[in-house]
Amino acid sequence: MSELPRSVEREFERHDAFDESDDGYELTTTVFEATATASGAAGDGDGRFRVTVSLPALDAAVADETVASVVEDGWFETLERRLADAFTVAHANTREESTVDRDGETVRVTLEYVARDAAEGVADAKALVEYVEGTYAQGLIPGYEYRGPAATLLENAQSRGREAAEDGERGGTPM
């Protein structure tokens, strides 16, 4: 991380959702392993950012059952297509390479971009990881029992749904 521009380093350190790690800055608000790194950007930009998110493939997320390869392949292709729109949540002025790769039980999403403003670049890193997480959660197929991060995502969504319903019953304002 020696190439990290000081303005970007300062923004990562100020942001309460990122913790410095050996590999860059880890986003602490996701159930997945998500890291953001940055280097200097030539020309008009504070930093060239790279966001990497590791997700369990569908079969690795399903508990006590093997997912048919045709289902796994279809799930992965759909995830790839949905993640093609990831940058709709970012303000990055230059979108670089984006990849979604599957290697056995792991899917790795890599999103690269140049941000004109360091604070905006760090905020984009968080938004992009959240987009990946939400897209993954939306793609979970009903009828399976999930484990690990996938189970945690579903439990969190159900909990938020119950809280919203309880607020509505009490006359509160849903979030």
Residue 153 lies in a domain: no
- The reported pLDDT for the residue numbered 108 is 98
Measure CA 158 to chain center.
20
In tens, the pLDDT along 65-94 reads 999 999 999 999 999 999 999 999 999 878
Q: Which residue pairs, CB below 8 angstroms and at least 24 apart, start in 20-25?
A: 24/50, 25/125
Residue 83 lies in a domain: yes
The pLDDT confidence band at residue 144, using thresholds 50, 70 and 90, is: very high
- The reported pLDDT for the residue numbered 175 is 54
Residue 99 lies in a domain: yes
Please report, for residues 55, 144, 149, 159, the alpha-carbon distance to residue 155 in angstroms, rounded to integers and kept in the order given.
17, 14, 10, 6
Report whether pLDDT(118) > 50. yes
What integer is the mean pLDDT of 147-175? 79
- 33 vs 17: CA distance, rounded Å: 13
Domain total for the chain?
A: 1
Radius of gyration of the chain (CA): 18
Whole-number average pLDDT of the chain: 90
Residue 158 lies in a domain: no
Q: Give the single-character DSSP code of 116.
A: S
> Which residue range forms the structural domain that includes residue 91?
6-143
In tens, the pLDDT along 121-139 reads 999 999 999 999 999 999 9
What integer is the mean pLDDT of 34-52? 86
- 7 vs 117: CA distance, rounded Å: 9
Report whether pLDDT(174) > 70. no
In tens, the pLDDT along 21-39 reads 999 999 999 999 999 999 9
Residue 86 lies in a domain: yes
Residue 39 lies in a domain: yes
What integer is the mean pLDDT of 46-55? 94
> 123: Cβ–Cβ under 8 A, 6 or more apart, which residues?
15, 91
- 53 vs 57: CA distance, rounded Å: 12
Task: Give the domain CATH number at 26.
Answer: 3.30.1460
Residue 69 lies in a domain: yes
Share of the chain above pLDDT 70, in %: 93
Residue 159 lies in a domain: no
